[in-house]
Amino acid sequence: MRIGELSRRTGVPTRLLRYYEEQHLLQPERTGNGYRTYPDSAVAQVRQLRGLLDSGLTTEMIRALLPYLCGPGHLLPSPESVPPETAALLEEHIDRIQARIDCLARNRDRLTAYLAAVRPDDRRRA
């Protein structure tokens, strides 16, 4: 499929798909006239990239992980072959995610308590 079709199927603008290519996160084939072509599997790959980016991973971190990702929850080759530096990047990122979750939970609890104080009839729960 061409880049426009990949964009339509994933909801990712073509400009961003080109950026992923520049960052070596996508590797399209090129036709004789220079058009990018992608296999059907690129749809899942772009969705996976979006998920990783949405979780806060940088393109540099994703590039380090891509050789080990076969799909969500699947590592290829075995987990033991992931370099310690890559594992350390993941651990640091997990810690940052957890810190954000903790902060959001504290803010939710404070807002819920505030709302309960100003609107005692509100039956909302956290």
HEC string of 30-96 equals: ECCCCCEECCCHHHHHHHHHHHHHHCCCCHHHHHHHHHHEEECCEECCCHHHCCHHHHHHHHHHHHH
- Could you give phi then psi for residue 2, rounded to 5 degrees? -90, 170
DSSP state of 29: E
* Mean pLDDT taken over the chain: 86
pLDDT in tens, 7-52: 999 999 999 999 999 999 999 999 999 899 999 999 999 999 998 8
Residues in the chain: 126
Least confident interval from 6-20, 25-39, 71-85, 112-126:
71-85
